[in-house]
Structure 1
Amino acid sequence: MNYDYIVVGHGIAGAILAYTLRKQGQQVLVIDEPRANSASRVAAGLINPVAGKRFAKSWLVDTLLPFADSFYDELEDRFQKKLFHHKPIYKIFSTIEEQNNWMAKSAGDNWSAYIGATHTQSTGVESVQDRFGGIMIRQGGYLLVADTLDLLTNELLEAGLLLPERFDVSQLQLTEQGVSYKNIRAGHLVFCEGWQVVHNPYFRWLPLQPTKGEVLEVETQDFNPECIYNKAVYVVPVGEGRFKIGATYNWRQADELPTPEGKAELTERFEQITSQPYHVKKHWAGIRPAVRDRRPLMGRHPEHAQLSVFNGMGSKGVLMAPYLADMFGNALMGKGEVLPDVQISRYYSLYYDYLKHQNHEL
């Protein structure tokens, strides 16, 4: 069998890239071992245009956000299913200092596209603990990631374009025409393995840090489901009185096992947002592919041009992947360039250091 591309991995990055390449007219085969607790399936699928405690616009958000909106609208039309839920995000100030930081920051930029209101005191909603107020962020929301992946997976299976198995890199052969894997040939192969790239002999030199994150689903009544809450953790309404709470960040444990410590951290932080009684329904853990400079990793291998990587989006995959996949697909076909901020060439020096180390060991 011959294909233009093999895509290894079908989390949110790999799924969107495979879909985009197919839309661009390419013959694509996806190889992926189904896993219920992959980072994409555990994640809440959040889009937040305002980043963290620094009160900065998310990187490239003015470009990424409209592209993502249009992309998820297209998927909803394709599958006739609601997948992306637009919700404002109430970012609650933790301290008066945080409130002051925002007031100073907001004076210098035009935030009208992303900030709906600033509250310098509590909104007075009984179920929400917001003593110092907060900001209401526009254009936020969340994707039903597992549902989206299921729909894209089923479409590939029906078309015979998905091998639901673990990719065995020892079976990969590089050829003058591209790659050969078992009895399959393709002009190019793209690794979209998430954190598992640390085990990939072609790309393990990239500075990707596996980061464990734990997430809870709780059930509670009398808590407003009309917005997402953010105060050290996010609280995302997922329907019928249920909310997804996350996430922890753990660089020390590269496993996917939920822990009592993670549960305790999440419940403690949830209780700083609401005094409502609640019941924990589910507890998951997954591993994100985080990058040193917080920018994705995209590009061709420095020596093997038939191999590429599309990875490292961390917790921002839902926002970033649609635009970056379109840009990357075009670049692979010689129709454009990858942004320098995300191009793996910025780390080629690590590859040559890695080679020196390998040769020294031999």
Structure 2
Amino acid sequence: MKYDFIVVGHGLAGAILAETLRSRGSRVLVIDEPKENSASRVAAGLLNPVAGKRFAKSWMADTFIPAADAFYDALEARYGQKLFFHKPIYKVFSSIEEQNTWMAKSAGGNWGDYILATHTQSINQPGINDPFGGIMIGRGGYLHVFAMLDLLTEDLVKQNLLLPERFDMQELQLTESGVKYKSMEAGQLIFCEGYQVIHNPYFKWLPIQPTKGEVLEVQADENLAPERIYNKAVYVVPEGAGRFIIGATYDWRNPNEETTPQGREELSERLRQITPQKFEVTGQWAGIRPAVRDRRPLAGTHPQYKQLSVFNGMGSKGVLMAPYLAQNFAAALADEEELMPEIHIFRYLSLYYEYIDQQNQQP
């Protein structure tokens, strides 16, 4: 069987890229080993246009957000199912110093509809501990990532375009016209493996740092206002009926998929700083994100083997970035436009040459 592309991995990045390639008329085969605790499937799917203690607008938010809205809207229209929930984000100030930092930052910038309101005092909402106030962020929300992945997976299965197995590198052959994997051929193979790329002999030179993240599901005694997301060191995403997703931890020292009592207590304590309400932990999950040294995604063809490409490194911002970057990458693969230099793997070409030298020096 012949395809235009084989995509390895069907997490958030791989699924959005495969869908983008298919929407352009390409025949795509996806190879993916089903995992319930992949980073994409345990993520809350948060889209936050203003992040961090320094109150910086997310990189290229003006470009990424319209592309993300259009992509998720199109999926909702096709499947008749709500997937992306537009919600303001109430970022609670943790101190008067943080409030002052924001006031100085906001005075010199054009924030448009990203900032709906600035509160220098508590908004007096029952169940919220915000003595220093906070900012109400617009254009945010969250994606039901697992629901989207399930719908796209079902589509692939119906069309016999999904091979549900672990990719076996020993079965990969590079040919003059592309690649061959078992009995299947394609012009291009794209690795969207997340943190597993560190084991990939063709792309292990890329600076991916596996970073563990734990999240909690909690049930609150009283429902916090479900029309917004809350943020103060952790995010609090309302799922309805008093249910919330709390996350996430960041642990690069122990990159495994095991939940821990320490993660549970860290997230619980941070939630207590946001709300005095009693809550019960009803679920806990862990996944491993592919973090990149410069916090920019990784995309591009291999320096030597042009049949092989990579699309990876979205970290915790895949919901925001992946739709636009998948469009750009797909167009670049078709020689229709240039791949964004900020995400091109050639920015790390020196690491590739170092890797090759090390391989050549081995006996």
- Taking structure 1 as the reference length, what is the TM-score of the superposition? 0.99
* Contact 1:3-1:28 at 8 Å conserved across structures: yes
Report Cα offsets for 1:82-119 as digits up to 9, x if no partner: 00000000000011110000000000001122000000
* Contact 2:223-2:241 at 8 Å conserved across structures: no
SS of equivalent to 1:98: helix
C-alpha RMSD of the superposition: 0.6
* Contact 1:211-1:290 at 8 Å conserved across structures: yes
Structure 2 letter corresponding to 1:36: E
1:55 is aligned to 2:55: yes
* Contact 1:119-1:134 at 8 Å conserved across structures: yes
* In structure 2, distance between residues paired with 1:177 and 1:96: 62
* In structure 2, distance between residues paired with 1:137 and 1:315: 18
1:183 is aligned to 2:183: yes
Aligned to 1:246: 247
Aligned to 2:107: 107
* In structure 2, distance between residues paired with 1:183 and 1:23: 25
Aligned to 2:147: 147
| CA displacement at 1:240 relative to structure 2 | 1.6
* In structure 2, distance between residues paired with 1:113 and 1:88: 11
| CA displacement at 1:239 relative to structure 2 | 1.5
* In structure 1, distance between residues paired with 2:224 and 2:51: 25
SS of equivalent to 1:75: helix
Structure 1 letter corresponding to 2:301: R
Structure 2 letter corresponding to 1:176: E
- Taking structure 2 as the reference length, what is the TM-score of the superposition? 0.99
* In structure 2, distance between residues paired with 1:222 and 1:200: 46
Aligned to 1:306: 307
1:274 is aligned to 2:279: no
| CA displacement at 1:170 relative to structure 2 | 1.4
Q: Which moved more, 1:121-130 or 1:60-69?
A: 121-130
SS of equivalent to 1:156: helix
SS of equivalent to 1:256: coil
Aligned to 1:265: 266
Aligned to 2:348: 347
Aligned to 2:168: 168
* Contact 1:216-1:244 at 8 Å conserved across structures: yes
* In structure 2, distance between residues paired with 1:180 and 1:254: 32
1:232 is aligned to 2:233: yes
Gaps of 5+ in 1: none
1:222 is aligned to 2:223: yes
SS of equivalent to 1:206: coil
Aligned to 2:96: 96
Q: Percent identity?
A: 67
| CA displacement at 1:126 relative to structure 2 | 2.6
* Contact 1:12-1:317 at 8 Å conserved across structures: yes
* Contact 2:126-2:224 at 8 Å conserved across structures: no
Aligned to 1:81: 81
* Contact 1:222-1:276 at 8 Å conserved across structures: no
* In structure 2, distance between residues paired with 1:141 and 1:23: 25
| CA displacement at 1:222 relative to structure 2 | 3.2
| CA displacement at 1:223 relative to structure 2 | 1.4
* Contact 1:207-1:291 at 8 Å conserved across structures: yes
Aligned to 1:203: 203
* In structure 2, distance between residues paired with 1:199 and 1:76: 35
* In structure 1, distance between residues paired with 2:31 and 2:241: 35
SS of equivalent to 1:15: helix
* Contact 2:45-2:142 at 8 Å conserved across structures: yes
| CA displacement at 1:292 relative to structure 2 | 0.4
Aligned to 2:119: 119
* In structure 1, distance between residues paired with 2:335 and 2:124: 56
* In structure 1, distance between residues paired with 2:95 and 2:181: 56
SS of equivalent to 1:289: strand
Aligned residues: 362
Aligned to 1:323: 324
* In structure 1, distance between residues paired with 2:39 and 2:245: 14
Aligned to 2:2: 2
Q: Which moved more, 1:118-127 or 1:153-162?
A: 118-127
SS of equivalent to 2:113: coil
* Contact 2:341-2:347 at 8 Å conserved across structures: yes
* In structure 1, distance between residues paired with 2:359 and 2:18: 33
SS of equivalent to 2:316: helix
Report Cα offsets for 1:229-281 as digits up to 9, x if no partner: 00000000012210000000000111100000000100000000000011101
| CA displacement at 1:359 relative to structure 2 | 1.2
Structure 1 letter corresponding to 2:149: L
SS of equivalent to 2:29: strand
Structure 1 letter corresponding to 2:167: F
Aligned to 1:35: 35
Aligned to 1:21: 21
* In structure 2, distance between residues paired with 1:136 and 1:250: 28
* In structure 1, distance between residues paired with 2:48 and 2:253: 26
